[in-house]
Structure 1
Amino acid sequence: MVELIATAALMLTLTSCNMHVWSHTMSIPSFLFPFAVFIIVFLFLIVIVPLSGGHMNPIFTFIAALKGVVTLSRALLYVSAQCIGSIIGFFVLKSVMEPKLADTYSLGGCALGDLKGKIPGIKPQDALLLEFSCTFLVLFLGLTLAFDKKRCKELGLPMVCLVVAASLALAVFVSITVTGRPGYAGAGLSPARCLGPALLLGGPLWNGHWVFWLGPFLACIIYYSVSINLPKKDLDGVDGEYDVLKLALGSCGTISNNVVINDLP
């Protein structure tokens, strides 16, 4: 439930900010959007991590499952909640937003190809490369630290959340610098972020929708392959299920079905 509510609120907040920036590009510098992403994501992480681990993204849940941070059953539950939360968040946004504005900016930017034949779009193969590269950047910079128990203990939870938020903001900045435009305002970095608009608006948003799933998940697999060759000392093990908060505080713990953290023997 926490992941569902948090994802819905995060999608609503980020997308509102995104569309405001792109609809006022003449008066608001586009580089302010990554800064806003950093602030918003950091606030959500610092609040949600102690409650559910602070995933709010199928990609974070998938790599956590690969690393043994969460069990497969919990991962499936989290991803389902995140997708439903995304749909709810975008439904609220679509309901209160002017229809013309929502249609013009594709409810946040997950459209590939030419937008209504007027605005040049990005090709699926280019978007796939961008989704893969930016997602890998987030995983390599942010999640590597989150899985390092020693450094997490030294830095503390706020600093870990700050680094993860900064890695997301950096990926957004890189992507909008090279491709930002109405319809596709940079890398999605979360399949759930593009699922909601596709279900609510339909039509061309389904064209190349697979890119927003395949690119990030390929990045997860490649990152996992790289991470298993990193120095094993002080990195998170895979025996049992661990909570991201415990990693940030420097000790591992299991999570029972009622999300109560117990010390490992």
Structure 2
Amino acid sequence: MAKESEVGVKDYHDPPPADLFNAEELTKWSFYRAIIAEFVATLLFLYITVLTIIGHKSQSDPRYVSDQCSGVGILGIAWAVGGMIFVLVYCTAGISGGHINPAVTFGLFLARKITLPRAVMYIVAQCLGAICGCGLVKAIQKTGRYDYYGGGANELADGYSKGTGLGAEIIGTFVLVYTVFSATDPKRNARDSHVPVLAPLPIGFAVFMVHLATIPITGTGINPARSLGAAVIYGKDKAWDDQWLFWVGPMIGAAIAAIYHQYVLRAGAVKALGSFRSNA
């Protein structure tokens, strides 16, 4: 068994990096099917999570209930978000890769896992899906309830500086994207084939844990499409004032995760230096 494992690792070769632009990709139905899958998945993600947030606030509103702990609480919201990511990644991983997040798409693009056209179209589809998902929530809510409870929009909590909010978004997104790289690493799957890993499970748990930590700070963005969709439909100044935090932070966190995984854990920098020396 050990011998087979060693042979498997020795014979393993990293897949070549994706082309920056592949014109042939644009002629395939699989490309557009993946874009549709990202749109629908992000729509469903926002519909479930924002509806959970507003439902919690209404269930714990002292105007209507005497027990302010009757809502699902932060724990319930985190479970809804993490659980939905698990379900949607499981459903769409074989079609689009199950990104459902512009930060994840950006990180995978930096690591040369996807082409530039695919990255751009994924991000557009994710943002449009998020807007439609939030619009659907507003459409089915009782009159005024969506706006009264903040529309599920991410906002920096009182008492926290913008620097703290930015740091929380960077670290939270780093945890998520780092988990995505680790859970989908083909070399790890080849090396640890005797330990089956269901990739959506650790990804969903990463989202769950990050939400537990950062909901009290920023409401937890770590997904620019999620923050944009809620802000567009809610439309209030506070959501737009802090909107840059939920784009800059996740993109920085995703970039750091991609660099850390590719050039430190996967020794990309050492391999590049070795290749340079051998050529010299």
TM-score by shorter chain over 0.5: yes
Q: Answer whether contact 2:153 2:234 (CA < 8 A) is retained.
A: no
Q: Deviations over 1:101-147 (max 9, x none)?
A: 2223322131236xxxxxx4644322211111111111223432222
Pair 1:76 & 2:120 matched? yes
Q: TM-score, normalised by structure 2?
A: 0.72
Secondary structure of 2:93 counterpart: helix
Pair 1:145 & 2:183 matched? yes
Structure 1: gaps of 5 or more residues: 114-119, 235-265
2:154: which partner in 1?
A: 110
Q: Answer whether contact 2:183 2:199 (CA < 8 A) is retained.
A: yes
- Structure-2 separation of matches of 1:189 and 1:135: 5
1:121-160 equivalence runs, <5 A: 122-151=160-189, 154=193, 155-156=195-196, 159-160=198-199
- Structure-1 separation of matches of 2:111 and 2:223: 19
Q: Deviations over 1:15-65 (max 9, x none)?
A: 112222343341134322222323222111111111211111101111111
How many pairs align?
A: 222
- Which moves more between the two structures, 207-216 or 217-226? 217-226
Q: Answer whether contact 1:87 1:196 (CA < 8 A) is retained.
A: yes
Pair 1:48 & 2:81 matched? no
1:243-254 equivalence runs, <5 A: none
Structure 2: gaps of 5 or more residues: 1-35, 61-68, 269-280
Given candidates 210, 213, 218, the residue that maps to 1:174 is: 213
- Structure-2 separation of matches of 1:194 and 1:38: 16
1:1-265 equivalence runs, <5 A: 1-25=36-60, 26-27=69-70, 28-112=72-156, 120=158, 122-151=160-189, 154=193, 155-156=195-196, 159-176=198-215, 178-179=216-217, 184=218, 186-204=219-237, 205-232=239-266
Q: 1:138 to 1:104 in 2, by over 3 A?
A: same
Q: Deviations over 1:173-227 (max 9, x none)?
A: 1112x43xxxx5x211100111112222223121121110000001112222222
Larger C-alpha radius of gyration, 1 or 2? 2
Secondary structure of 1:228 counterpart: helix
State the 1:99 CA deviation: 4.2
Q: TM-score, normalised by structure 1?
A: 0.76
State the 1:71 CA deviation: 0.5
State the 1:148 CA deviation: 4.3
- Structure-1 separation of matches of 2:175 and 2:164: 17
* Percent identical: 26
Letter in 2 for 1:133: I
Cα RMSD, aligned residues only: 2.4
